[in-house]
Chain A
Amino acid sequence: MRDEFRRALATAEDTLAELADLAAAAVAQATVALLDADKDAAESSLEQNQALRTRLTELENNAYNLLALQAPVASDLRVLVTVVRLGADVERMGSLAAHIAETAKRGSTVPEPLTPIFRQMGEVAQQMAIDAGAALRSRDTADAARLEADDDTVDRLRLELFGQIAGEWPYGAETAADVALVGRYYERFADHAVAIADAVVYLVTGAVAE
């Protein structure tokens, strides 16, 4: 029963997972742009972010309509609350990727010794967004724990960056600011991916993560 409503809920959940995939693609392109000074990659990242925003608006409108018209309860309500809540997280992920892409577009380059750190940050951040989307699709609460571990990796890499800036720093103040900010963007991106994983726990169990 309520087949159409059920299909609409499933579509909303799928779309949210696809938005996480878009965020993953956006951050991957932004990392390429940053490390290879590749302006096309930067543009491509910004386009992914734009696509994410357009689809998010549509998704949120659908979610509000279902809330207003279908009086969802219990797990159905949790799906829609999650869609609306996580919409804000994937939007931030897209924006943070865009900030990285814009920094690259402006011509800021990463000093050679720091590229391995940023490369790894970019890889882990991309994988976290992919895993967050996968967790939404599988509804597997075990995936949440894996994202926490990846988040620790990103936090550690960011501390490493700070250590570099605070030590011998021959690259000037502007580069220092860019490096610190971009590091911060990756770190926040990872935090939002973790929020998605935590929401999967809520979706399945109704328990709110601490």
Chain B
Amino acid sequence: MSKGLEVKDLNIYYGSFLAVEGVSMSIEPRSVTAFIGPSGCGKSTVLRTLNRMHEVIPGARVEGKVLLEGEDIYGSSVDPVNVRRTIGMVFQRPNPFPTMSIYDNVIAGLKLQGRQKKSTLDETVERSLQGANLWNEVKDRLKKPGSGLSGGQQQRLCIARAIAVEPDVLLMDEPCSALDPISTLAIEDLIQQLKTEYTIVIVTHNMQQAARVSERTGFFNLSAVGKPGKLVEMDDTQKIFTNPTDKRTEDYITGRFG
């Protein structure tokens, strides 16, 4: 478990529109990497290319390489469904399957892999919910619908569902933007625990969140509307927030623009 990613010369298109240009970076295993930048800079687009979710949009395509421990996830023999199992994703709005029970939500991904023994499933549900810091709150109502949980609990349920299939990498696209501050801090604590086992990449609009949870931060920006987004600077989070190298990063994080 937990593998690093190497991104090489990534160009990302929506049809003929070049949305993101020339992104290269390396993402360390068992660490948290944050992407920050103004709206429309391409940070979520880049995140979605890391598990081939970008190409589900009609006309969307990618040039360049994304290597997971040396293996290109865009290789011709690679099954995108398998990529998405290895590189899981958590979205902005908690999206548990509303009619499914908490239990069934957690094992939804596993069921796609064929029949499993009940005892194995029980173990997975407990392990995943424990891993998502939700077990104690829901262990007595596993058969109740996931939609009955609070927003923060639902998001942790989605994280439990993502880790149930034991991915190598966990991508999070603004996982706290729909949550209240306390639930947000709970997810941030969870991210700190999860990074001991998983490689985590998080897109966030909350710069303080990036500062709090990540080891590395990448700042994306676009020079003008209609121009492609670019990775301006990527460095240790501590460096980015105390003394960034690029003036554009400084201007963004200090709120001079953005």
With contacts A71-B208, A73-B211, A74-B250 taken as known, whether A1 is within 8 angstroms of B242 at the C-beta atoms is no
Nearest residue (CB) in A for B250 is A74
**Minimum C-beta distance from A77 to chain B (A):** 7
Question: How many residues on B have C-beta within 8 angstroms of the other chain's C-beta atoms?
Answer: 14
Report yes or no: B257 in contact with A73, Cβ–Cβ below 8 A: no
Report yes or no: A75 in contact with B254, Cβ–Cβ below 8 A: yes
In whole angstroms, what is the CA distance A71 to B241 when docked? 11
Nearest residue (CB) in A for B249 is A74
Which residue of B208, B253, B257, B258 contacts A74 across the interface (Cβ within 8 Å)? Answer: B253
Question: How many residues on A have C-beta within 8 angstroms of the other chain's C-beta atoms?
Answer: 12
- B242 contacts across to A, CB distance below 8 A: 73-74, 77-78, 206
Report yes or no: B256 in contact with A74, Cβ–Cβ below 8 A: no
Report yes or no: A1 in contact with B256, Cβ–Cβ below 8 A: yes
- B257 contacts across to A, CB distance below 8 A: 1
Residues 73-89 of chain A, each 1 if its beta carbon lies under 8 Å from chain B, else 0:
11111100000000000
Contact of B255 with A by CB under 8 A: yes
Report yes or no: A2 in contact with B241, Cβ–Cβ below 8 A: no
Contact of B83 with A by CB under 8 A: no
Report yes or no: A72 in contact with B254, Cβ–Cβ below 8 A: yes
- B207 contacts across to A, CB distance below 8 A: 73
**Minimum C-beta distance from B234 to chain A (A):** 16
In whole angstroms, what is the CA distance A2 to B207 when docked? 15
Report yes or no: B254 in contact with A76, Cβ–Cβ below 8 A: yes
Report yes or no: B256 in contact with A206, Cβ–Cβ below 8 A: no
Nearest residue (CB) in B for A71 is B208
**Contacting residues of chain A (1-46) with chain B, CB-CB under 8 angstroms:** 1-2, 5
Contact of B193 with A by CB under 8 A: no
Report yes or no: A74 in contact with B255, Cβ–Cβ below 8 A: no
**Minimum C-beta distance from B205 to chain A (A):** 14
In whole angstroms, what is the CA distance A77 to B250 when docked? 11
Contact of B64 with A by CB under 8 A: no
Residues 18-35 of chain B, each 1 if its beta carbon lies under 8 Å from chain A, else 0:
000000000000000000
Report yes or no: A1 in contact with B255, Cβ–Cβ below 8 A: yes
- A71 contacts across to B, CB distance below 8 A: 208
Report yes or no: A73 in contact with B241, Cβ–Cβ below 8 A: yes
Residues 225-258 of chain B, each 1 if its beta carbon lies under 8 Å from chain A, else 0:
0000000000000000111100000100111111
With contacts A73-B242, A74-B242, A74-B243 taken as known, whether A2 is within 8 angstroms of B250 at the C-beta atoms is no
- A78 contacts across to B, CB distance below 8 A: 242-243
| Residues of B participating in the A interface, judged by any CB pair closer than 8 Å | 207-208, 211, 241-244, 250, 253-258
Known: A1-B258, A74-B244. 10 other contacts (CB 8 A): A73-B207, A73-B211, A74-B241, A74-B243, A74-B250, A74-B253, A75-B254, A76-B254, A77-B241, A77-B242
User: What are 9 inter-chain pairs, A to B, with CB distance below 8 A?
Assistant: A2-B256, A72-B254, A73-B242, A73-B254, A74-B243, A74-B244, A74-B253, A75-B250, A78-B243
User: Which 4 residue pairs spanning A and B have beta carbons closest together?
Assistant: A206-B243, A2-B255, A73-B241, A76-B254
